[in-house]
Each structure stands twice: as C-alpha cells, then as structure tokens.
Structure 1
Amino acid sequence: MLPPDVQKTCQDYLALADEHAPDLVRGLYLQGSVALDDYRPGVSDIDFVVVTGREPAPEELRTIHGLLRESHGETCFDGLYVTADDLRRDPQDTPPGPAVHEWKVEERSRFERNLVTWHVLAQGGVPVRGPELDVHTDWPALAERTRANLAGYWTNWRTAAAFTPGTRTTCWGVLGMTRLRHTLAAGRVTAKTEAAAFALETYDPRWHRIVKEALRLRVGGEPEYRSPVHRHLDTLRYTAMVLET
C-alpha cells in the first residue's frame, strides 16, 4: 500500500494529466525510495516514470506539473516520460526525452534515464496505472557504470565537498556513496537506509558514528556530533575510505 501522501499526489497527477493531456499517460509507475521501501515523508522525493501513449507537448507538461505544484509543492514529483519501447532498450541507446526535476519541465533531458532507474522498475517498480512492464536489465553493465560513477562523479564530488561543510554534504555524501558500494556488494539496487545498515555491519567501528549521523539526518533522532567541524572532517575521511575500498 502506498503512503497516503504518495497516493494523493499520484491521484491528483493522473486527474490533471487526463484533463489537460488526454491519452498521454498510458502507465504511471513509481521507482526510487517508494519502490525500495525507503520512502520518508517530508524527506524523500516521489520518483515516477510515465509510459506515454503519444508524444507529450511541453506546454501540456508545464500546465500539469505547475498545477500539481500548487497543491503538492512540499514534495518534489520527479521523473521522466518514456515509451514502452524505450524501457525495452538500454537507456544509453535511447534519445533524451521529457523529464521533470524539482518541478522544472525539461524538454530533452537524460535525467533518470539510466540503468539504475530501469533496474529499480524491474526489481520493484510500483504500478499506479498500467500493465506489468517489460524492462531491459543488464547487471554487469550496471555494475561497471556504478564503479565508473564512484571513480568519476563521486571522486570529484568529494574534492568539492571539502569546501562545502553542512548537513546536506554529510547526508548526501555518506549515504550516497555507501548505497553504491552496497549495490555492488548485494548485486541489486539498494536503498540508503539499507546501505547504512550494511556499513554498520561491514566497516570498522571507527566509521559508525558518521554513518549513524548521516542516517539520523535522513530519518531523525539525536545528533551524534556536537561540533559541525568534526562531523565534516569525519565525512571527508569516511568518503575517502569508501572510494579507496
């Protein structure tokens, strides 16, 4: 069963789509934290994939998502519009297409058009409207791209993070990198909370404090640190360890 706020957002989205863009939404599926059973109201975004019945017009999407934001703007409804044929192919072989990120409609975007999204849909995508999906998956390719993401994006991110202390840096960096490491270890796409548990079971106890703090920033609880400086230093040390492991 969907969380009540997710259910209401999806119902309102479908009503708006059917009114302002008839025959557009053939299927609505949820991926991300909802599909991975890690959705946190007020913290998580709602990540969607729409299978289209026809080509969407940008003005239609701006109307739909603009009106949806007026009533549900506290939680981003992020996702992409694809065809059924797109999902049957490697997303790298599909052209950019319409997407919505932080309420902004992007006409030709690669946002979330990747193997992680495809795998999450295949693992446990939640159908709100539409039949069961036929989704391309390729674990060896996903593992290779995950390692490349750690070596590229996350290595560069850590360099920049040295100059951007704060709670977002700790939460995003610690849980984001840990999730990729856990995904490689588990052989499936995993959630941030599950990945934190993996880190607490796998890594040396010296790292437990910063992992618990990152998880606390996501789900709530008592702070593990008094000093933001010490928290930031441990964030940098932990993320360096993850990248080197």
Structure 2
Amino acid sequence: MDSYTVYTPVNEILNILLERISLIIGNQFVGFYLFGSLALNDFVPDRSDIDIVVTTKTILAEDQLEELQQMHKELIENKVPYSDRMECIYIPIDSLRNYVKEKSYFPCLHNGGEFYRDGFGLLEKHVLRERGVILKGPDPKSFMKSVSLSELQKAARESLTNWWLPKLNNSTSLADDDYQTFAILTMCRALYTIEKGNIVSKSEAAIYAKTEAEEYSSLIEEALAWKIGGTFNKLQQTLDFMKFTFHRVGIGT
C-alpha cells in the first residue's frame, strides 16, 4: 500500500479510490490530487473531510458517472473508514488550464455518495496548484496558472458577499453544529486571506483571528476543538462573529 499521508485509514481509502477510479474511467484518467486540509497540513481525524480532485481528459460520460457513484456508495455501505467523509470532484484538465469562473461547475461526489454540480473557485485552485498532494499525474504547476494576491483577496470577498452574507437573513443551514463551526473557521480564513493575501490552514487562520477579534477568541477555540458528534449550539454567537467579519472587511456595511 502506498502512503500519501501519515494517516493509515486515509491511505487505505486513497489506494482503493485511485485503483477503482482509474479502472472505471480508463483512458480518461489524467491525475489524482488532494487539496483542502490534507494539503494544508491541517487534517483532524475526528472532524476533517478528504478533499480530492481527479483530472480527466474531457467531460466524463453519464455511464461513467453512474459507475463512479455506485462505487462510492459501495464503499459507504461497506463502512470503509472516511468513505462518508470525502468530496471527490472530477474536472477536465483543460478547465484548470484555461480557468473561466463562469464555467467552473463540475460533477462532485459528496459525503453521502451522491453527485451534484459544484464549483472549483480561485481559492481551491490556488491550494491545488501551490499545496496540492500529487498521488498520480502531472504537477499542477505544469498546467495551471498561478493566482495573484489581488485575485485571492477578491475571491475571498466574493465568497463572503455571495454565499455567507445572505445567511444573516436566512440562517437555517447554520442550525447544525458542524455548519456553525465551519462558518466560524471559514470567517477566520477569509479574514486572513483578505488582510494578509494568502491561504493558510484553519488553525493558522484561527490564531490570527483570535488576536484580531479577542472578544471571539473563546468561540474560535471551541470551533477548532469541536469533533463530529459533539455539541456546539452557538448560533447567535456564530452570527455575531460573521457580522464582525463582514464589518471588518467592509462587506454589507
């Protein structure tokens, strides 16, 4: 078994996925990469997901997507560790080589084993290119352009404006404990990216945010410490920290 991380159960499922995906999509296969927490050295076994990018020659056929979905569901049914805690997005390599934001929606298998269409924005692109873990395929730097400081900051602001700001008036999704902690740590990372011009791990961003927002330091610490199955239940505090972040970076004010 090849070891791509320091976590044996993660390596086990990655080896399974690499083999099975390669067989299912055949000559469409180009590369297999990790981004997200595993790429940023911020993976927490009790709470983190595995974020995967599979690059392909062209858009996958429907029968291939159906076979991939069935494969993912079988892993979940067989209770393979982390099979229900991963997102695997399939992107034609030309879409990363010639990045166009308006067309960046691709088939992505979510935690439950179902496909949906998801975006792959500049923030994700930056992490993949600069920090991505290569399991197989060409180095992302060989086919992806770098993302500038101003582009990163703009993308972070757009994410706050378009996705998070509306939740102040419709906080239904924030009722779940895991989404509250996700929101808090996302605010930390957005704040860091906008003010410092780089993407760092949630832990690093949280350290920065705690010094810049001392009144929310305990909330941030609790969000970092939360584990799947634990109780958080801090909706109002989460909304307050979101408002602080928006005000700090001049969004919605």
Shift of 1:151: 2.1
Tell me: CA distance 1:187–1:95, structure 2 relative to 1, closer, same or farther (3 Å): closer
Q: Considering only aligned residues, what root-mean-square deviation do their CA atoms show, in Å? A: 2.7
Q: Does 1:191 align with 2:201?
A: yes
- SS of 1:21's equivalent? helix
Given residue 238 of structure 2, which amino acid in structure 1 is its aligned partner?
Answer: T
Q: 2:133 aligns with which of 118, 126, 131?
A: 126
Any gaps of 5 or more consecutive residues in structure 1? Answer: none
What corresponds to 2:210 in structure 1? 200
Deviations 1:37-91 (A, max 9, x none): 1111131111111111454232232233233333436442312112222111224
Given residue 242 of structure 1, which amino acid in structure 2 is its aligned partner?
Answer: T
Q: Is the 8 A contact 1:121 1:135 kept in 2?
A: no
Tell me: CA distance 1:26–1:162, structure 2 relative to 1, closer, same or farther (3 Å): closer
What corresponds to 1:137 in structure 2? 146
Q: What is the CA–CA distance in structure 1 between the aligned matches of 2:90 and 2:175, rounded to whole Å? A: 35
Tell me: CA distance 1:95–1:37, structure 2 relative to 1, closer, same or farther (3 Å): closer
- SS of 1:212's equivalent? helix
Tell me: CA distance 1:15–1:160, structure 2 relative to 1, closer, same or farther (3 Å): same
Shift of 1:238: 2.0
Given residue 215 of structure 1, which amino acid in structure 2 is its aligned partner?
Answer: L
Deviations 1:177-215 (A, max 9, x none): 111111222322222221111112222x32212111111
The aligned runs of 1:21-60 (5 Å cut-off) are: 21-56=25-60, 57-60=64-67
The count of corresponding residues between Structure 1 and Structure 2 is 235
Q: TM-score, normalised by structure 2?
A: 0.81
Q: Does 1:171 align with 2:181?
A: yes
The aligned runs of 1:1-245 (5 Å cut-off) are: 1-2=4-5, 3-56=7-60, 57-71=64-78, 72=80, 74=82, 75-92=84-101, 94=103, 96-102=105-111, 103-106=113-116, 109=117, 111-133=118-140, 134-139=143-148, 140-161=150-171, 165=175, 167-203=177-213, 205-218=214-227, 228=233, 231-245=234-248
Q: Is the 8 A contact 2:29 2:56 kept in 1?
A: yes
Q: TM-score, normalised by structure 1?
A: 0.83
Aligned identity (percent) is 25
What corresponds to 2:251 in structure 1? none
Q: Is the 8 A contact 2:59 2:91 kept in 1?
A: no
Given residue 213 of structure 1, which amino acid in structure 2 is its aligned partner?
Answer: E
- SS of 1:27's equivalent? strand
